[in-house]
């Protein structure tokens, strides 16, 4: 009996002994790793050098207990000095502003690149329309082609200047000026061919064109159509470049001292304890950056309104091909006005004789007749009936603007822009979350709370804006930044001006709804280039009900690689115990089975 029990007791004793050895070894390794951490600042020095924080000689070789730190205070020895703490503070400010500017620069590039694409499309349409009108005179009214050429060029040059919003050009005045110059040539070469073109008579005809009314109501129709379509293009162009200045102003805003201290506490105070790998807790990061960017969050509502105005202006420019049709109809309008003058030549001649004096060389045997020539050339301008059908087509003119939008139509550029800018509706409210995405790792078991390594952050995350951030437990927010409040007022003033000039603009509910940035029309086809953009969207879940957006974000790259050890509640040094545990367990199991 004793012999049968002895092997079992021996196996149990060996298993317990192996477990005891294992526990002693683990305790020894923990003590050794803690001692290693307590007596060296090597990893801190490596991170200090790679991040280019300051002179390497400032980092001590071993932790000291007599340091006089202002922010990164903790019980025990520290790898930081006062000089290091000041350098860490500058580095935290530098890195935060750099990452913030990465996002604002990306947004500014989005706006300016599309502004250039729209401008290229406008110029292509203007050149196309000018070519149509030139062809009309060359093929249908050759006697008018040469004298009117310079005035055709002037007409479209003035329309181009109007779109650029850098002049006081009036579309209506430009159109009427063109017809003022056209009337003398029509009078002397079509209505009364053969009469001499006297300067006095021509001046009188130009001055009295609108009173004589030789071209009928079609001139005003053309002026109204162009004014309405080009006004939207001008407003959109202005909106793009106004935002450029406003975004530049946001980058000029500075961080408060309270914010800088919180950034130091979040980013670099763990280094003082030798923890160079630990990441801040997500909620802690949101509180810190939410407090730092509280004044920027005040731009949220006027920015949302501005984006809605951009979307409405884009639809006004490209929706139903309004700008394209207005420019394509120019040659048709001019053709109809000349035909109208031919049909009413008798009345026009009589009126001119009364107003400007009777022409003594006019031959009574010459009777003006309407002589519209049949269109036999494919380059002849289409009539208004054909042009009207364009509004029901799914594609617009194949323009070829420069840059990356080459070979895209105006409609495709507009749809792409609306789809992209919609993802930035909550840009200013979501900035803290976007910046934190590059700082946190959600699969970590522990994180930095500002004072120690914890499993979860215990503080309350407050909402966006200066008022809500007054309750921030990490950053003291005393009031709004005056510079950013000026930017907010400028945004609101611009939105007000746009709504006054174009009533109803930006009053859709979508600017109050975070939305997903999809085209409000719900229409999208392959020809319009509606494929997915492949951008990543991040949902914000702030406590403020206004800030729950899907914002396209691209986490900014880190400036330099960081060599940091794996953090833990008690140690930052890695060790290879798992393999030893497996080996001892296998030996104990074999002994038990024997």
Is residue 224 domain-shared with residue 348, that is, in the same domain?
yes
Assess if residue 448 is contained within a domain: no
Question: Is residue 546 a part of any domain in this protein?
Answer: no
Q: Is residue 106 part of a domain?
A: no
How much is the pLDDT for 205? 86
Instruction: Enter the DSSP assignment of 459.
Output: S
Q: Which structure tokens are listed for 116?
A: 């250039």
Instruction: Tell me the per-residue pLDDT of 111-165, one tens digit each, with 9 for 90 and over.
Output: 999 999 999 999 999 999 999 999 999 999 999 999 999 999 999 999 999 998 7
9 shares its domain with 156: no
Reply yes or no on whether the pLDDT at 460 is more than 60.
Answer: yes
Most confident of the following: 99-108, 245-254, 363-372, 512-521: 99-108
The last residue of a domain, from among 365, 386, 413: 413
| pLDDT at residue 489 is higher than 80 | yes
pLDDT for residue 201: 83
Higher pLDDT, 566 or 169: 169
Please indicate, yes or no, whether residues 116 and 4 belong to a single structural domain of this protein: no
DSSP annotation of 508 reads S
> Tell me, what's the pLDDT at 319?
82
Q: Which of 85-89, 173-177, 462-466, 589-593 is predicted least confidently?
A: 589-593
The answer to whether residues 121 and 227 belong to one domain is yes
Looking at residue 281, the DSSP 8-state letter turns out to be P
* Tokens 């800030």 -> residue: 547
How far apart CA 267 and CA 564 sit, in angstroms, is 13
Of 65, 362, 346, which Cα lies nearest the Cα of 214?
346
d(CA 422, CA 565): 41
Task: Quickly state the pLDDT bin for 556 (edges 50, 70, 90).
Answer: very low
What is the mean pLDDT of the segment spanning 218-238? Answer: 93
Per-residue pLDDT tens over the stretch 229-263: 999 999 999 999 888 888 888 888 889 999 999 99
Shared domain for 235 and 355, answered yes or no, is yes
Reported as a pLDDT band with limits 50, 70 and 90, residue 590 is low
| Confidence (pLDDT) at 379 | 37
Tell me the CA distances in angstroms from 451 to 42, 272, 412, 454, 474, one per residue in order.
22, 11, 52, 9, 11
Integer Cα distance of 429 and 464 in angstroms: 7
With the C-alpha atoms ordered 469, 301, 494, 255, is the resulting torsion angle positive or negative? positive
Residue 571 has pLDDT above 70, yes or no: no
The pairing of strands 453-454 and 447-448 is antiparallel
Indicate the helix (H) or strand (E) that contains 121.
Answer: helix 82-139
Look at residue 432 in the predicted model and tell me its pLDDT.
Answer: 94
pLDDT at 321: 67
Same domain assignment for residues 151 and 6: no
Q: Cα separation of 491 and 497, whole Å?
A: 10
- At residue 357, the pLDDT reads 75
Residue 569 pLDDT > 60: no
For residue 39, the model assigns a pLDDT of 63
Tokens 């603009």 appear where?
505
Q: Average pLDDT, stretch 536-544? A: 38
Q: Does residue 325 surpass a pLDDT of 60? A: yes
Whether 189 is in a domain gets the answer yes
Let me know whether 162 and 22 are in one domain. Answer: no
What is the pLDDT averaged over residues 338-359?
A: 86
Q: Check residue 418 and give its pLDDT.
A: 93
- pLDDT over 50 at 6, yes or no: no
Mean pLDDT over residues 64-78, rounded? 85
pLDDT at 178: 96
pLDDT > 50? residue 293: yes
In order of 154, 381, 467, the CA distances from 137 in angstroms are 15, 10, 66
What is the rounded (10 degree) CA torsion for 332, 337, 342, 345?
180
The parent domain of residue 327 ranges over 112-240+321-413
Contact 482, 488 (CB under 8 A): no
Number of helical (H) and strand (E) elements in the chain, helices listed first: 20, 4
- Please state, rounded to an integer, the average pLDDT across all residues of the chain: 76
Domain boundary among 375, 393, 413: 413
More confident residue, 245 or 335: 335
- Report whether 97 contacts 556 (CB < 8 A): no
Average the pLDDT over 393-404 and give the result: 41
Instruction: Give one DSSP letter per residue of 536-578, joined into a string.
Output: -EEE---SSTT---EEE--PPPPSS----PPP-SS--S---HH
Question: Does residue 165 lie in a domain region?
Answer: yes
Sign, CA dihedral 62-64-68-73, equals positive
Contacts by 527-534, CB closer than 8 A, 24 or more apart: 527/394, 527/395, 527/412, 528/394, 528/395, 528/409, 528/411, 528/412, 528/415, 529/408, 529/412, 529/415, 529/416, 530/415, 530/419, 533/419, 533/420
Residues 10 and 122 reside in one and the same domain: no
Residues 9-57: pLDDT tens digits?
A: 455 445 555 545 444 444 444 433 433 444 689 999 999 999 889 888 8
Residues 495-516, mean pLDDT to the nearest whole number: 67
Cα distance between residue 484 and residue 482, in whole Å: 6
Q: How far apart are the first and last CA of the chain?
A: 17
Residue 230 in tokens: 């080009």
Residue 384 lies in a domain: yes
What distance in Å separates the CA atoms of residue 229 and residue 35, rounded to the nearest whole number?
76
Q: What is the pLDDT of residue 561?
A: 35
Q: Which residues contact 8 (CB under 8 A, 6 or more apart)?
A: none
Under 8 Å between Cβ of 428 and 465: no
Mean of pLDDT values over 87-107: 93
Q: Which two tokens stand for residue 526?
A: 């392959």
Instruction: Please check the confidence at residue 512 and state whether its pLDDT lies above 60.
Output: no
Please give the tally of structural domains in the chain.
2
Boundary (domain end) residue, out of 413, 436, 468: 413
Name the CA radius of gyration of the chain, rounded.
Answer: 38
Q: Is residue 399 part of a domain?
A: yes
pTM here? 0.71
Share of the chain above pLDDT 70, in %: 69
Q: Report whether pLDDT(204) > 70.
A: yes
CA distances from 512 to 353, 425, 433, 498 (A): 63, 9, 20, 18
As a whole number of angstroms, the distance between CA 564 and CA 51 comes to 12
In a domain, 89, yes or no: no
């Amino acid at each position: 009996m004793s012999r049968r029990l002895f092997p079992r007791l021996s196996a149990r004793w060996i298993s317990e002994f192996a477990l005891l050895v294992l526990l002693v070894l683990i305790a020894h390794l923990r003590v050794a790793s803690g001692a290693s951490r307590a007596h060296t600042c090597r990893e801190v020095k490596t991170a200090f050098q790679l991040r280019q924080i300051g002179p390497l000689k400032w980092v001590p070789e071993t932790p000291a207990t007599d340091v006089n730190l202002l922010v990164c205070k903790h019980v025990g020895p520290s790898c930081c000095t006062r000089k290091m703490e000041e350098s860490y503070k500058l580095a935290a400010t530098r890195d935060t502003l750099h990452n913030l500017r990465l996002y604002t620069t990306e947004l500014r590039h989005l706006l300016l690149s599309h502004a250039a694409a729209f401008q290229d499309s406008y110029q292509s349409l203007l050149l196309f329309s000018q070519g149509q009108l030139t062809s009309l005179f060359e093929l249908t009214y050759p006697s008018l082609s040469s004298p009117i050429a310079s005035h055709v060029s002037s007409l479209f040059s003035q329309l181009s200047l109007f779109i650029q919003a850098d002049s006081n050009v009036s579309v209506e005045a430009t159109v009427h000026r063109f017809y003022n110059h056209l009337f003398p040539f029509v009078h002397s070469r079509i209505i009364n061919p053969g009469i001499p073109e006297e300067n006095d008579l021509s001046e009188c005809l130009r001055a009295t064109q609108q009173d004589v009314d030789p071209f009928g109501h079609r001139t005003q129709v053309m002026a109204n159509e162009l004014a309405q379509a080009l006004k939207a293009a001008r407003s959109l162009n202005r909106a793009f470049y106004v935002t450029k200045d406003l975004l530049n102003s946001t980058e000029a805003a500075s961080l408060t001292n309270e914010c800088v201290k919180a950034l130091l506490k979040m980013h670099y105070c763990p280094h003082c304890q030798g923890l160079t790998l630990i990441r801040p807790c997500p909620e802690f990061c949101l509180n810190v950056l939410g407090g730092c960017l509280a004044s920027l969050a005040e731009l949220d509502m006027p920015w949302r309104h501005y984006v809605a105005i951009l979307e409405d202006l884009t639809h006004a420019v490209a929706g139903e091909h309004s700008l394209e049709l207005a420019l394509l109809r120019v040659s048709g309008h001019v053709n109809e006005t000349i035909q109208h003058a031919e049909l009413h030549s008798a009345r026009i001649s009589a009126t001119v004789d009364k107003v400007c004096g009777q022409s003594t060389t006019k031959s009574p045997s010459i009777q003006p007749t309407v002589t519209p020539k049949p269109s036999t050339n494919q380059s002849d301008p289409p009539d208004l009936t054909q042009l009207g059908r364009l509004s029901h087509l799914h594609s617009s003119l194949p323009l070829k603007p420069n840059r990356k939008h080459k070979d895209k139509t105006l409609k495709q550029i507009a749809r792409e822009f609306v789809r992209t800018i919609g993802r930035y509706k909550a840009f200013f409210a979501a900035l803290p979350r976007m910046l934190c995405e590059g700082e946190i790792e959600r699969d970590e078991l522990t994180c930095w709370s500002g004072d120690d390594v914890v499993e979860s952050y215990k503080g309350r995350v407050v909402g966006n804006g200066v008022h809500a951030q007054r309750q921030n437990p990490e950053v003291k927010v005393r009031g709004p930044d005056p510079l950013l409040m000026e930017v907010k007022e400028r945004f609101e003033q611009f939105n007000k001006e746009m709504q006054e000039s174009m009533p109803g603009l930006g009053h859709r509910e979508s600017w109050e709804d975070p939305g997903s940035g999809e085209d409000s029309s719900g229409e999208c086809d392959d020809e319009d280039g509606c494929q997915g953009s492949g951008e990543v969207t991040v949902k914000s879940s702030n406590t403020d009900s206004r800030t729950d957006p899907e914002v396209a974000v691209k986490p900014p790259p880190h400036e330099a690689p960081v060599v940091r050890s794996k953090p833990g509640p008690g140690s930052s040094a890695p060790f290879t115990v798992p393999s030893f545990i497996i080996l001892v367990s296998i030996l104990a199991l074999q002994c038990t089975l024997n």
